Amino acid sequence: MFEKVDVENWARRDTFHFFRHFEDPFFNITSNVDVTRLFSLCKKENLSFSLAGLFASQQTLNSIPEFRLRFLDGDVVRFREVHATQTILNDDETFSFCYFENADDLRTYDRRGRESREKYLELKSFDVEADRIDLVYYSVIPWISFTSFKHASRQDRTQSVPRIVFGRVFEDAAAKRMPVSVEVHHALMDGVHVGKYFNGLQDRVNSPV
């Protein structure tokens, strides 16, 4: 379900038109998130930390309207809810995609997420919900704690699905931190909205439920 955005009466109208036809309208911000409490909870309850991070991210960005904006048939639309696809590593060191549907609580998300992983590891497909745009594209780079990230791109200015990447958790004094990269279309949102995402994500992983 979605609603059409009245661009001409949108507070971001001028910003939208300014960035809409840039050759490269995407911007990326990378920051470290303190995941100490979430990591501890996952260890205590035998939850998947990867799925817990995905859950916290999805809960956060669904609370920010700009992260639910997409281009559709020349219009800007706002979805009521967006879900996730994420890369998963296969046994032969190739990767494929997995679809994760939202859930209202972490334990349900963990259970369903493990089931999805098993299903899509068998499928080994790139063609995962490929006809949908009510998604966020996630990747995980668990081998390195990166400080910046660049995605492969077809240079398609109509691409409007945000891309988020989680890196390797590292020790920083008594804290555990994880790099998170966020790439979005500047015609649809600004740095303030990505800032809200990072602040909201930090709040959620500080108080995991």
Identify whether 20 is part of a domain: no
- CATH of residue 94's domain is 3.30.559.10
Q: Is residue 23 part of a domain?
A: no
| Residue 130 falls inside a structural domain | yes
Residues 6+ apart with CB under 8 A from 202: 33, 34
Q: In this structure, is residue 22 part of a structural domain?
A: no
Question: For 41-92, how does the pLDDT look when each residue is reduced to its tens digit (9 = 90+)?
Answer: 999 999 999 999 999 999 999 999 999 999 999 999 999 999 999 999 999 9
Reported as a single tens digit per residue, the pLDDT across 149-192 is 998 888 788 899 999 999 999 999 999 999 999 999 999 999 99
What is the number of alpha carbons within 13 Å of residue 144 lying toward its C-beta? 7
Residue 33 lies in a domain: yes
Residue 15 lies in a domain: no
Q: How many domains does the chain have?
A: 1
**pLDDT score of 209:** 73
Residue 108 structural domain: 2-9+28-206
Query: Considering the domain boundaries, does residue 17 fall inside one?
Result: no
Name the pTM for this structure.
Answer: 0.95
Q: pLDDT band at 130, cuts 50/70/90?
A: confident
Is 16 inside a domain boundary?
no
Please state, in angstroms and as integers, the Cα–Cα distance from residue 29 to each residue in 7, 10, 38, 100, 205, following that order. 25, 25, 22, 24, 19
Q: Mean pLDDT throughout 112-130?
A: 93
